[in-house]
């Protein structure tokens, strides 16, 4: 019988070696960043033994780089650190909000962007914002680094595209063009501490005349995975993001949603509210984009 | 099961303990080290009763592996007051009757300290959101918020 | 009897004596206690809501190294039927015994079916996983309508409805029927100009104390046992454990830890007998703590209810008739708080004709326990909602409508007796004058108001007052301190004795070191245990007068006690100096030995408590989310011994009531499995959900208490449900009769109204 | 004579009588008199219900005095939470 073990590799190679060693022997290894989801899953869902591979000591999972062209966020950086980064907030205010919304101040002290993404919950707050900002996953693999869009990284409820032996190193983005900004809104019954009942991440680009020239819309907690909504994008592009366009985009989100009813809300409710969130988030993103011109 | 040896500094004191890899920091604090001031209300990060500071950052000790504390610094409720004097947050909790049963109080005190360390002059809304991860079922939070506001004032050196 | 008095100590906002230990983490709560050689106990719980236990196989679990004991229902004695007369629950010791450990049947998901004691909790977990149980699954009965239907699946085939006018002839899930009536209901409704009615539902909710149940039990080979646990009443833990295990009461010592909240939920037992039997089998002390999941699934929540109310009134608002049909879920065993719910429903009002019918109904949910003013929030939510609608229909201010019908001294309560002095009208008048009643509201905002009531309890308490050799005071009592009652006891002892508060220390002693006390519950501690402390202090004063008289060589009846000193009565010709408590104590060896005052009593005349709550809310018309913007709690405390802790009770009750109104509920799947057994999805209010809660303490003294004290702990949770619901009604124009007013429910109602 | 009031659930034993006047000096005395009038009622009164004498609710009454003008109500026991 396998016992629990803990490894805290300090380099990407060491981490890959630990993972390879365990996977090779048919045992279970699981990557941990902040551990805020993992610890709960071990307690409530599956407490079976495994080797926990803590990736927080690896430099590349802790690197935050807001460059002139590219932005890189290490997978294991705690939310509190990201929220405190002014340059990151200036580039992706909506993304930072989506991180900040996860759990309490205590959770923010540990929870990471990479963890939220790998956990691949349909309600994962950052995932909608990542998709809206065209985030690209940087994956450490035996053969070197490989990249993949966030949309294709999340493949199902709790399932990601990592192959055995791989782990997520970080996420990178193109630095947003002038006149671009984002917003993320979610709905929860309380003001804090809940899982999203529905969420919407929106990024828009406005030209000098205030016309929307590019947009990305992603919605969460209304389908098995976060989904991009091209019909909402179509409704926004070419418009001045007026009430009619926002309404159309919202309706497109409601139409694209295929939610379930559960303890957090009814399908009907989620479908309605995700449209409201899209509308409201787009309006916020538009305001920010104007300031960013 | 093989145990791991961990060296960590808790409340300024160098400590050493053995733990199993899957054990939470909370379980080790309470069961191994006898530091029972840190409470367990849920063990899932939803109540904040187990709040501690790890290298100055507020966390739930139930969501951290004990092995992760190797080489780190932890502050628990037992380390908030030094010597004979209570920390102003503790004094204000007493003065404002900001506790009834008292089970959530250690977590609130630690969380409030983490807030005031970073933000010496928080608004009521900032205090409420910062403390949203600490559940209290007795007080309705009113007197807790007032105690934290008053403690912030004292810590800023203003008369209350 | 109380009269205007100048108090020196009570009514001040002192620091509680146990405070420092609680802000520094030194205070020991239930799970903080450990013993050398102690084992960890865990309970195996039913995965089914309703099933017969066919077979339990513990052989594999017993073989695991480090497992010291395994117990099942077979290890517990058979307990005969005997009514638990303590409170309103009307439970049965036989049910209590099978609730603690199932025998042949499980009646809710999470019902205890076996337990193990092992060297570590990980080994205990492994042992639980190795126990095999064959169940025959039965259809779960999960709500009142299903349970009360004609051909319902029976949870207990031997249960016949008690209290029916005609003896029941076939078994039923309805355990009891109860009826209260006065006058001629038909005539009353015929006299009305307006008749309104409504049906309201409230969900199963939990007290939500932050500290899970925990205990350590240790029993020796002679059958003498000690239990350390967190409880609202260690004497009840002793008596219940002795009944369930067939043990001698005198062989069980219960030592209460500090208690991390109870709200009624820690007035019964779950783990203690299990830990005891495990300790007996293993020969070692055994500790069991519940996880949060277990607390939700397997401790006692509050009843879900369905209430139908009908009110008839004249055009000027005078009530002519009221009727209530109230069904309360009891859980898997009989004994809900239906009776007090029925007694409270019309308690604030003068009603010439009424009919109240109550039903206590079994469902496959955990057996309910008391929750703060048990039964009252549900039925009064229904009635106070309907009164709000009536006020709107009659175009009468909701405060005026209530004032028109409000009870006062001499009014006959719907539950029977005539009230002595009560402060309901005073609360209403204070609400009317309160600045929050006329604050301007914005779009989508609304204001709601509702009344609350609770009887408050008296019952048995005892206390000792010891005077130490330097004149300091130690109060020994037996009521666990959940919310600062040590401070109240010290204040009252200091007031009586005429010494500074700081000279008094209070000990909550265990079952072998304190006289008997009923539970900390029923808002009775400051009233009843406080009365015992006052009387015990009075006993000290009597003794001190005797000691002073002996010292001075005069008769005791010539001595007065004033400001903490014995003095000769005016006109007594004695050339003596006053003797302070400290001087008398220092000399006590020579005057008859240590000073020890005692009192024990069955307190009568707990003054009923009334309240008015006002809520201002904003409703997001697109998401249905309700934000509480302002909340005002006004309550008659009789006399506030420690005003800050009285306010704290009012604020805490408001927060719990707001949670009940807006988001809290047990959510079950079709198999009867609770879907949200954790703080994440049970959704109690967090700090950012609430505004400051404004309080106003009204003091209409209770004539049956020396200081005029009324209980204050329970009333605060009663009014918020309807106050919030009425505010939502005001903001949206729609009455949503079912709680919680969660965003999906509110939005659905808004959409339905639009359509 | 003290006035005694019965709740609905006891009226089966009192043959529908809701209130009556009894001369009694204490609760014990009162219950003894009621038992003479309604054999079997004391079983349902002692330890099973609470009593309100002149508005003061008492659990487990026994020696409590009953005055000539007292009003005595029997009611369900309330403990609270």
Which residues in chain B are contacts of A4 at CB distance < 8 A?
1, 20-22
Mean pLDDT confidence for B68-72: 98
Chain A interface includes C742 (CB < 8 A): yes
Query: Looking at the predicted structure, is the pLDDT value of residue C680 above 90?
Result: yes
Q: Using pLDDT thresholds of 50, 70 and 90, give the confidence band for residue C86.
A: low
What is the DSSP code (8-state) at residue C118? E
- Neighbouring chains to A with at least 3 Cβ pairs closer than 8 Å: B, C
Which strand (E) or helix (H) includes residue C237?
A: helix C234-245
What confidence score (pLDDT) does residue C1 get?
43
Contact of chains A and B by CB distance (3 or more pairs under 8 angstroms) = yes
Is the CB of A267 inside 8 Å of chain B's CB atoms? no
The nearest CA of chain B is from the CA of A175 a distance in Å of 29
Better-predicted residue by pLDDT, B84 or C142: C142
User: Residue C676's pLDDT band (boundaries 50, 70, 90)?
Assistant: very high
3-state secondary structure chain A: CCCCEEECCCCHHHHHHHHHHHHHCCCCEEEECCCCCHHHHHHHCCCCCCEEEECCCCHHHHCEEECCCEEEEECCCEHHHHHCCHHHHHHCHHHHHHHHCCCCHHHHCCCEHHHHHHHCCCCCHHHHHHHHCCCEEEEEECCEEEEEEHHHHEEECCEECCCCCCEEEEEEEECCCCCEEEEEEEECCCCCCCCCCEEEEEEEEECCCCCEEEEEEEEECCCCCCEECHHHHHHHCCCCCCHHHHHHHHHHHHHHCCCCCECCECHHHHHHHHHHHHHHHHHHHHHHHHHCC
Could you read off the pLDDT of D2-14 as tens digits, one per residue?
A: 999 998 888 888 8
Q: What's the pLDDT at C38? A: 98
Give the residue-averaged pLDDT of D69-81.
90
Number of alpha helices (DSSP H) and beta strands (DSSP E) in chain B: 5, 5
Between CA C448 and CA C466 the distance in angstroms is 50
By C-alpha distance, which of C264, C709, C528 is closest to D80? C264
Quick: pLDDT tens for C698-734.
Answer: 999 999 999 999 999 999 999 999 999 999 999 999 9
Q: Please say if the pLDDT value at position C2 is more than 50.
A: no
How confident is the model at residue C88, as a pLDDT?
A: 55
Closest Cα in chain D to C454 = D80
Residues of C in contact with D52 (CB under 8 A): 416-417
**How close is the nearest chain D Cα to the Cα of C728, in Å?**
28
A264 and C689 in contact by Cβ < 8 A? no
Give the pLDDT score at B160. 60
Chain B residues 61-90 with a CB less than 8 Å from chain C = 76-78, 80-81, 86, 90
Is C683 an 8 Å CB contact of chain B? Answer: no
| Residue C481 Cα, gap to closest chain D Cα (Å) | 14
Q: Count the alpha carbons within 13 Å of A138 in the hemisphere toward its beta carbon.
A: 19
Q: How far is C64 from chain B (nearest CA, A)?
A: 15
Binary contact (C122, B20; C-beta < 8 A):
yes
pLDDT class for C208, splitting at 50, 70, 90? very high
DSSP state of C503: G
| Per-window interface: C 106-135 vs A, CB < 8 A | 125
Task: Give the pLDDT confidence of C505-556 residue by residue, as tens digits.
Answer: 999 999 999 999 999 999 999 999 999 999 999 999 999 999 999 999 999 9
Q: What is the pTM of this model?
A: 0.97
Q: Which residue, among C553, C550, C591, has the nearest Cα to C574 in the 3D structure? A: C553
- In chain D, residues with a C-beta closer than 8 Å to the C-beta of C265 are 81
Report the pLDDT averaged over residues B132-142: 98
Strands (E), C27-101: 39-45, 51-57, 67-72
Q: Does B1 touch chain A (CB under 8 A)?
A: yes
C373 neighbourhood in chain D, CB within 8 Å: 80-81
Determine, for residues C18 and B30 on separate chains, whether the beta-carbon distance falls below 8 Å: no
Q: Name the residue among A54, A104, A192 with its Cβ closest to that of B68.
A: A54
pLDDT reported for residue B82: 83
Comparing alpha-carbon positions, the chain D residue that sits nearest to C267 is D81
D58 contacts on C by Cβ (under 8 Å): 458, 602, 604-605
Q: Which of A47, A191, A276 sits opposite C622 (nearest CB)?
A: A276
Among C35, C96, C29, C70, CA closest to C218: C35
Q: What is the pLDDT of residues C462-482, one digit of tens each?
A: 999 999 999 999 999 999 999
pLDDT tens digits along C115-125: 999 999 999 99
Residue C559: alpha-carbon gap to chain centroid: 43
User: Is C644–B132 a contact, with Cβ atoms under 8 angstroms apart?
Assistant: no
> Do residues A183 and A94 lie in contact, with contact meaning Cβ atoms separated by under 8 Å?
yes
**Is A147 in contact with A136 (CB distance < 8 Å)?**
yes
* Mean per-residue pLDDT, C37-43: 98
Mean pLDDT score, B36-48:
98
Do D and A make contact via 3 or more CB pairs under 8 A? The reply is no
Q: In whole angstroms, what is the distance from residue A245 CA to residue A212 CA? A: 10
Residues 551-610 of C with CB under 8 A from A: none
Return the residue in A39, A105, A193 with the most chain C beta carbons within 10 A, the one to mutate for interface testing.
A193
Distance CA D58, CA B132 (A): 43
Please say whether the beta carbons of C533 and C495 come within 8 A: no
**For residue B15, how many other CB atoms are within 10 A of its CB?**
16
Q: Closest chain B residue to A44 measured between Cα atoms?
A: B44
Residues of B in contact with A109 (CB under 8 A): 54, 57-59
Number of neighbouring beta carbons within 10 Å of residue C750: 20
Confidence of residue C214 (pLDDT cuts 50, 70, 90): very high
Collapsing DSSP states into helix, strand and coil, what is residue C493?
A: helix
Contacts with A, C 253-292, CB within 8 Å: none
Strand ranges (E), C183-285? 194-202, 214-219, 225-229, 252-256
Interface of B with A in 134-153 (CB under 8 A): 134
**Other beta carbons within 10 Å of A24:** 10
Interface contact D63, partner C, CB < 8 A: no
- Position A26 scores a pLDDT of 76
- Please state the separation of Cα A117 from the chain's center in Å: 5
| pLDDT tens, residue order, chain A (293 aa) | 578 999 999 999 999 999 999 877 778 899 999 999 999 999 999 988 899 999 999 999 999 999 999 999 999 999 999 999 999 999 999 999 999 999 999 999 999 999 999 999 999 999 999 999 999 999 999 999 999 999 999 999 999 999 999 999 999 999 999 999 999 999 999 999 999 999 999 999 999 999 999 999 999 999 999 999 999 999 999 999 999 999 999 999 999 999 999 999 999 999 999 999 999 999 999 999 999 88
- Chains with 3+ CB–CB pairs under 8 A to C are A, B, D
Neighbours of chain D (3+ CB pairs under 8 A): C
Which two tokens mark C37? 């050689």
Mutation target vs C (from A41, A264, A271, A274; most C CBs, 10 A cutoff):
A264
B102 and C28 within 8 Å at the Cβ level: the answer is no
Is the pLDDT confidence value at C89 over 60?
Answer: no
- The whole-number pLDDT of residue C4 equals 59
Contact C688 A194 (CB under 8 A): no
Q: Which residues of B touch A52 (CB under 8 A)?
A: 21-22, 65
Task: For residue C231, give both structure tokens.
Answer: 């409880």
Closest CA–CA distance from residue C485 to any residue of chain B (Å): 9
């Amino acid at each position: 019988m396998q016992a629990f073990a803990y490894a805290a590799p300090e380099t990407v190679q060491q981490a890959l070696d630990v993972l390879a060693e365990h996977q090779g022997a048919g045992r279970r290894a699981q990557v941990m960043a902040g551990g805020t989801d993992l610890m709960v899953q071990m307690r409530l869902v599956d407490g079976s033994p495994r080797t926990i591979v803590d990736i927080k000591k690896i430099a590349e999972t802790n690197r935050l780089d807001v460059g002139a062209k590219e932005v890189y966020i290490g997978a294991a950086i705690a939310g509190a650190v990201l929220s405190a980064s002014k340059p990151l907030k200036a580039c992706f205010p909506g993304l930072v909000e989506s991180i900040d919304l996860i759990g309490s101040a205590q959770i923010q002290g540990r929870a990471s962007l990479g963890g939220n993404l790998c956990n691949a919950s349909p309600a994962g707050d950052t995932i909608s914002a990542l998709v809206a900002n065209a985030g690209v996953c940087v994956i450490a693999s035996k053969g070197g680094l490989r990249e993949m869009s966030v949309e294709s990284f999340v493949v199902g409820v709790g399932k990601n595209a990592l192959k055995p032996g791989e782990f997520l190193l970080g996420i990178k983005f193109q630095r947003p063009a002038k006149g671009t900004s984002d917003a993320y809104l979610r709905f929860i019954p309380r003001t804090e501490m809940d899982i999203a009942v529905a969420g919407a991440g929106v990024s828009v680009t406005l030209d000098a005349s205030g016309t929307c020239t590019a947009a990305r819309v992603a919605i969460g907690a209304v389908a098995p995975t976060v989904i991009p909504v091209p019909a909402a994008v179509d409704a926004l592009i070419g418009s001045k993001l007026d009430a009619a366009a926002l309404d159309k985009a919202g309706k497109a989100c409601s139409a694209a949603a295929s939610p379930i009813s559960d303890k957090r809300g009814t399908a009907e409710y989620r479908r309605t509210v995700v449209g409201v969130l899209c509308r409201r988030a787009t309006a916020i993103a538009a305001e920010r984009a104007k300031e960013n011109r | 099961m093989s145990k791991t040896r961990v060296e960590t500094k808790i409340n300024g004191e160098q400590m050493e303990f053995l733990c199993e890899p899957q054990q939470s920091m909370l379980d080790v604090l309470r069961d191994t080290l006898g530091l029972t001031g840190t409470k367990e209300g849920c063990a899932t990060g939803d109540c904040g009763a187990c709040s501690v500071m790890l290298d100055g950052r507020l966390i739930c000790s139930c969501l951290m592996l004990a092995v992760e504390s190797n080489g780190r610094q932890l502050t628990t409720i037992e380390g908030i007051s030094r010597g004979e004097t209570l920390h102003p947050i503790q004094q204000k909790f007493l003065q404002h009757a900001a506790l009834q049963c008292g089970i959530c109080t250690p977590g609130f005190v630690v969380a409030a300290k983490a807030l005031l360390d970073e933000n010496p002059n928080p608004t009521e809304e900032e205090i409420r959101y910062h403390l949203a991860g600490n559940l209290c079922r007795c007080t309705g939070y009113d007197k807790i918020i007032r105690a934290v506001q008053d403690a912030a004032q004292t810590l800023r050196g203003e008369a209350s | 009897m109380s009269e205007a008095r100048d108090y020196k100590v009570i009514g001040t906002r002192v620091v509680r004596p146990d405070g420092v230990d609680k802000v520094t983490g030194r205070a020991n709560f239930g799970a903080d206690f450990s013993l050398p050689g102690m084992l960890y106990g865990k309970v195996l719980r039913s995965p089914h809501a309703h099933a017969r236990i066919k077979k339990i196989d513990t052989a594999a679990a017993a073989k695991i190294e480090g497992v010291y004991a395994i117990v099942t229902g077979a290890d517990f004695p058979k307990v005969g039927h005997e009514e638990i007369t303590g409170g309103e629950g009307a439970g049965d010791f036989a049910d209590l015994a099978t609730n603690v450990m199932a025998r042949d049947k499980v009646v809710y998901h999470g019902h205890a079916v076996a337990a193990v004691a092992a060297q570590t909790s990980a080994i205990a977990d492994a042992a639980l996983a190795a126990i095999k149980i064959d169940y025959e699954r039965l259809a779960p009965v999960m709500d009142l309508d299903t349970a009360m239907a004609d051909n319902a699946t029976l949870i207990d085939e031997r249960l016949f409805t008690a209290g029916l006018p005609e003896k029941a002839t076939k078994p039923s899930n309805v355990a009891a029927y109860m009826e209260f009536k006065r006058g001629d209901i038909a005539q009353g409704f015929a006299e009305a100009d307006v008749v309104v009615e409504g049906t309201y539902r409230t969900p199963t909710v939990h007290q939500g104390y932050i500290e899970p149940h925990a205990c350590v039990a240790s029993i020796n080979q002679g059958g003498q046992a000690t239990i350390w646990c967190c409880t609202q009443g260690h004497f009840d833990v002793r008596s219940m454990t002795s009944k369930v295990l067939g043990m001698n009461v005198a062989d069980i010592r219960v030592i209460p830890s500090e208690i991390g909240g109870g709200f009624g939920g820690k007035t019964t037992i779950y783990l203690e007998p299990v830990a005891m039997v495990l300790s007996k089998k293993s020969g070692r002390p055994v500790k069991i703590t519940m996880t949060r999941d277990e607390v939700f699934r397997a401790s006692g929540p509050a009843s879900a209810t369905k209430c139908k109310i009908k009110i008839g009134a004249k055009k000027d608002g005078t009530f002519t008739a009221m009727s209530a049909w109230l069904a309360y879920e009891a859980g898997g065993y009989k004994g809900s708080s239906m009776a007090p719910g029925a007694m409270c429903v019309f308690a604030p009002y003068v009603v010439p004709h009424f009919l109240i019918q109550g039903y206590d109904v079994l469902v496959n949910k955990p057996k309910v326990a008391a929750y703060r003013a048990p039964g009252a929030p549900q039925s009064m939510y229904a009635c106070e909602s309907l009164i709000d609608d009536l006020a709107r229909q009659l175009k009468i201010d909701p405060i005026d409508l209530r004032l028109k019908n409000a009870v006062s001294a001499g009014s006959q309560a719907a539950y029977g007796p005539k009230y002595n002095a009560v402060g309901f009208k005073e609360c209403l008048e204070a609400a009317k004058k309160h600045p929050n009643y006329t604050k301007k509201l914005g779009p989508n905002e609304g204001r709601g108001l509702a009344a609350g009531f609770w009887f408050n309890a008296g019952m048995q308490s005892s206390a000792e007052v010891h005077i130490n050799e330097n004149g300091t005071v130690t109060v020994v009592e037996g009521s666990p301190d959940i919310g600062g009652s040590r401070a109240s006891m010290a204040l009252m002892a200091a007031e009586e004795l005429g010494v500074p508060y700081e000279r008094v220390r209070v000990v909550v002693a265990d079952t072998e070191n304190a006289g008997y006390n009923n539970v900390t519950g029923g808002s009775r501690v400051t009233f009843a245990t406080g009365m015992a402390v006052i009387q015990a202090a009075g006993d000290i004063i009597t003794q001190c007068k005797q000691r002073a008289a002996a010292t001075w060589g005069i008769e005791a009846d010539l001595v007065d006690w004033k400001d903490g000193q014995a003095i000769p009565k005016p006109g007594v010709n004695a050339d003596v100096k006053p003797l302070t408590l400290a001087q008398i104590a220092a000399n006590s060896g020579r005057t008859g030995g240590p000073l020890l005052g005692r009192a024990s009593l069955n307190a009568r005349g707990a003054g009923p408590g009334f309240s008015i709550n006002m809520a201002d809310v904003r409703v997001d018309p697109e998401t249905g989310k309700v934000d509480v913007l302002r909340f005002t709690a006004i309550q008659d405390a009789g006399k506030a011994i420690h005003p800050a802790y009285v306010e704290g009770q009012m604020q805490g009750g408001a927060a719990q009531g707001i949670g009940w109104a807006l988001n809290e509920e047990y959510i079950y799947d079709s198999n009867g499995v609770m879907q949200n057994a954790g703080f994440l999805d049970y959704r109690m209010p967090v700090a950012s959900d609430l505004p400051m809660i404004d309080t106003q303490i009204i003091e209409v003294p209770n004539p049956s208490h020396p200081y005029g004290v009324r209980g204050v702990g329970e009333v605060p949770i009663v009014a918020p449900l309807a106050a919030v619901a009425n505010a939502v009604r005001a903001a949206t124009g729609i009455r949503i009769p079912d709680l919680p007013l969660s965003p999906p429910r509110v939005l659905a109602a808004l959409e339905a109204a639009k359509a | 004579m003290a006035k005694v009031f019965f709740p609905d659930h006891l009226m089966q034993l009192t043959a529908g009588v809701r209130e009556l006047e009894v001369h009694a000096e204490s609760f014990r005395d009162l219950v003894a008199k009621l038992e003479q009038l309604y054999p079997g009622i004391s079983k349902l009164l002692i330890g099973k219900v609470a009593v309100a004498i002149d508005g003061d609710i008492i659990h487990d009454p026994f020696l409590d005095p009953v005055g000539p003008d007292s009003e005595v109500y029997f009611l369900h026991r309330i403990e609270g939470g």
